[in-house]
Amino acid sequence: MLNNIVRYKLTYMIIALNLLTYIISSFYSRDFVDMDLEVLVELGALFGPLTVLQDQWWRLGTAMFLHGGMTHILMNMFSLYLIGRGAEMYFDTKSYLSIYLFSGIIGGLVSLYMHPVSVGVGASGAIFGVFGALAGFFLAHKEEIAVQSKAFMKDFAIIIGINLVIGFSITSVDVSAHIGGLLAGFLGGFLLSKSVNFLSLYNSAMLLIAVVIAYYLPLQYAQTLF
């Protein structure tokens, strides 16, 4: 057990941080099953009028560690437990962390574009980014690890398909954040599987995309909300 914790330390640390944040949220919400929406906003949930119009961009980071309820966090942490350990086998710590955080940020920005007045929380965008990173890795090395690649891509397609069906079926699930995170993670996984020297390039590209979207959002909000 200890060996597994050491081997997959980053995944377990992220899970622990999410669980700790959930406990804090439940304390303020006075409910361990469903979080109070106002409490989530106070703790750092994504909310367009605050994030975009009042320049509270730090919410792109805090929202990744907040969850709306017990089912929400259990589904996300179980998914991260399954997929995150695989990512730690193929990516170094810096690459894994960069992919996770940028996928969550890009997913959050896409969510703000698609849902300007909705409250957004959850690690889904970042987790889908890890899914995407593994897909990018296996695609980049499909010839060398053909058997594992085919098996993973089949499982990957099934998992993504199920999540998208659930997302389109349940209105509270933000599919746009999933897709944004997935694409950001796929790009990172493909590049960084070629060489870790591409990490600076990936970070710069993601930062540039984030800045461009963040610059455009206030203009878009001005047209749609006023």
H helix intervals, the chain: 2-7, 9-29, 37-43, 48-51, 59-62, 70-90, 93-114, 124-140, 146-169, 175-194, 199-225
Q: Which residues contact 201 (CB under 8 A, 6 or more apart)?
A: 191
Q: What string of DSSP letters covers 59-107?
A: HHHHGGG--SBHHHHHHHHHHHHHHHHHHHHHS-HHHHHHHHHHHHHHH
Torsion of CA 95, 100, 103, 105, to 10 degrees: -110
For the annotated catalytic residues, the residue numbers are 124, 178
**Contact between residue 81 and residue 15 where contact means Cβ atoms under 8 Å apart:** yes
Q: Which amino acid is at 144?
A: E
Cβ atoms < 10 Å from Cβ of 175: 19
Residue with tokens 């805090």: 62
